[in-house]
Structure 1
């Protein structure tokens, strides 16, 4: 005990940096706890929005997907209309999934860590699972269950798209946003048919480098982009004039 007090008497000044370390650790723990609490609140808010939109959509189907370009076709059967609605949401999703330019502009649509995007992906899997096979006769309960799944799919996509357009690149640092901007500019060169094949190929490689670690592109999106990059510039052949056709050396 005497040794302890002797040590404390000689090294009492160590208490100040120790207090600083403990205080910094406490502040870090408090920040992490606050972030976890905000994340939980965000997830709860997201689930509440999805649930409220689903209830409203089931009460008033016309309110679902108000921004959708597709219109209901009165000539289609209820099941065929559901197929069309299902395919329309999938088509709108593929616009983000296969278009690298859109993936750069709205990265949240390809980020399964975003609550609304994750909810949309789950709704899509459920709708795909409940989709009846073509030509198969379905019961009233199956039709109702599939209709609810498609409605949830539509609502979830609208919410995810709205959130992605609101967020844009706000989840990235300043340096990462500059890389995204550079990739977007290089992408314009990569698909420019006026550029040489070498210029397009170089720009394509630079796009891949800038996006590495920022946005995960699907294999299908890369295939689509590579086909655009590989387009060759074909100059239209000049059509000979009537005078040239009749005054050539053979004609003479």
Structure 2
């Protein structure tokens, strides 16, 4: 296969951005699974079940850690355990308790997601309102927002870090964009709830990552330090984790590759194949 067409085939998903409002995604979803109305609800139920399993395991780890600490405290009193061992056990218990609280919060969030998906079933009669077309439209909208910077020299000059993979928040966004691209299902076939759930979550992470990268780019353009501002506001650990991940050389290379591939796919859209004659 000609390299250009192979590349175009790999990045077919950018077409809905050009067509506008995810029209191709909607048409593909109409040809997809008959169970599309329940896709979001079924995926949310699976996510809740997984979160509940994780919470159960986390509670078990807390019990084990408490038992180990109690045994070491008793051994310390009897002279058979060292203070360092007791300190390590206390630290392990605190970590287990933190993990259990996070798991419990995840269960609550997933339960709320199930309730929202159940309520959303009433709106899914319109194919454009079904979960997969909406997720794809959200995905396409983020790519379009980013390409508005990449294809406008004035914007790129005004906000240079939005196109620089060496910037931590931009690198994190580019990695999230690559993850969402890989998770994006083919709307012309039946999509399993677990597959949709993974894609939906990848799109949500992509939206958050781009919002952060855009805010940081605007802050730097105005001479402000976004990291210092986040620290002063006590921004969540997710943003910090993204930045730490993005700082590795391998991650930066992946981010740069993702940016180059997306830009090339966008630029290739006007050089794509001419429409076939309807009589062909």
| Class of the TM-score when normalised by the shorter of the 2 chains | 0.3 to 0.5
TM-score, normalised on structure 2? 0.35
TM-score, normalised on structure 1? 0.39
* Bigger relative contact order (CA 8 A; separation at least 6): 2
More helix by share: 2
